[in-house]
Each structure stands twice: as structure tokens, then as C-alpha cells.
């Protein structure tokens, strides 16, 4: 068994996953492993969804919710070992506004807090946790209510909740 390591960032992740799908369709690869956090894993899973191509996960993110949900070891060598022995599980995927996700999709305050946190990390150099604390404080100052309509399983549900646009 051999593996090819490709290091990509940002939009390159989806492009690399699409290239891996083509390689798998040409019987050049048996599966795809991704190292990253929940966002990176979800991006690759979204590309692979419905293709039958196996996805291995090496948890390299901050929280690694998806890996933890599947009891994938957080230790890199142990996670690679799980992939190497071919431990396979089927997981459900879902879609929100055309974007596939594998472990959760958030609406309302939390995604805006994450956006603000990321902006602070890049702009001011704050640590992830201090940036998130400041983002939470900013969000709690103003909590406008918005309407959200959910369409699922042939049903429609309208909710009101605290959601904020950063513009």
C-alpha cells in the first residue's frame, strides 16, 4: 500500500478532492484521506458524497467534532492506523443552501461568531479562544430576531431566532 501526500489550503482543498475523484474513477486511487478540521473534512466529504469513494479522516483541527463523533483517534499516527486497516463506516450527509455538511450546520449567532473570530485571528493576531470570547461579547450586545424557513422531508417549518449579518 502506498499513499501520495498533497498539501493544499483554502479553495485548493475542493479542487484537490475533485482531482482525487477523477483518479478514483480511473482506478488510480482506492480512497481519499484528508487531514484538517471539520471545515476541511466537510469540504472534501461534500465533493466525495454520492461517489462511493472512501474518505479517511486525520483530525488536525481545533475541535474535530466529526472525528470525535466517529471515535477516530485524535493522535495522528493512530488515526492513520485506522485508515490503513480499512475501518469503514457509512455516514449521513445533508445539504443546506447547496453546501454539503457531515456533522452539523449552524444558523444564527454561532456562524457569525466564527466569522468574526476568524477575521480577528487574521487581522489582530489574537488567539482563537480570545477572539471567540470577543466575538461572543459582540454578538450578545445586539441580538436581532430573524425569520428562518426550513424545508425538510416534504415539510416546511418557519422559526424566529437571533441572527446577525456582518454585512
CATH code assigned at 49: 3.40.50.10330
Q: What is the pLDDT of residue 166?
A: 40
| Mean pLDDT, each 10-residue run in order, the chain (167 residues) | 80 92 90 92 92 94 90 94 89 82 74 84 87 87 74 84 50
Is position 1 within any domain?
no
Q: Are residues 96 and 127 in the same domain?
A: no
Number of domains in the chain: 2
Burial class of residue 2 in the structure, from the number of CB atoms within 10 Å of its CB (0-12 exposed, 13-18 middle, 19+ buried):
exposed
| 116 neighbors 126 (Cβ within 8 angstroms) | no
Q: Is the pTM of this model over 0.85?
A: no
Q: What is the pLDDT of residue 165?
A: 46
Q: Are residues 20 and 96 in the same domain?
A: yes
Residue where one domain finishes, among candidates 53, 82, 101: 101
Q: How far apart are CA 126 and CA 120, in angstroms?
A: 6
Q: Are residues 84 and 17 in the same domain?
A: yes
Q: Are residues 143 and 86 in the same domain?
A: no
Domain extent at residue 74: 12-101
Amino acid at each position: 500500500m502506498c499513499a501520495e501526500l498533497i498539501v493544499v489550503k483554502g479553495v485548493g482543498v475542493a479542487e484537490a478532492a475533485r482531482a482525487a475523484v477523477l483518479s478514483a474513477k480511473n482506478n488510480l486511487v482506492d480512497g481519499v484521506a484528508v487531514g484538517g478540521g471539520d471545515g476541511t473534512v466537510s469540504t472534501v466529504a461534500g465533493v466525495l458524497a454520492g461517489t462511493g469513494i472512501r474518505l479517511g479522516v486525520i483530525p488536525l483541527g481545533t475541535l474535530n467534532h466529526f472525528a470525535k463523533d466517529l471515535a477516530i483517534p485524535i493522535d495522528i499516527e493512530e488515526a492513520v492506523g485506522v485508515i490503513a486497516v480499512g475501518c469503514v463506516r457509512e455516514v449521513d450527509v445533508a445539504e443546506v443552501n447547496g453546501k454539503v455538511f457531515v456533522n452539523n450546520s449552524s444558523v444564527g449567532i454561532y456562524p457569525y461568531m466564527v466569522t468574526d473570530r476568524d477575521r480577528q485571528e487574521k487581522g489582530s493576531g489574537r488567539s482563537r479562544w480570545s477572539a471567540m470570547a470577543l466575538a461572543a461579547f459582540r454578538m450578545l450586545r445586539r441580538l436581532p430576531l430573524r425569520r428562518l424557513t426550513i424545508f425538510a422531508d416534504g415539510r416546511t417549518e418557519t422559526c424566529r431566532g437571533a441572527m446577525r449579518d456582518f454585512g
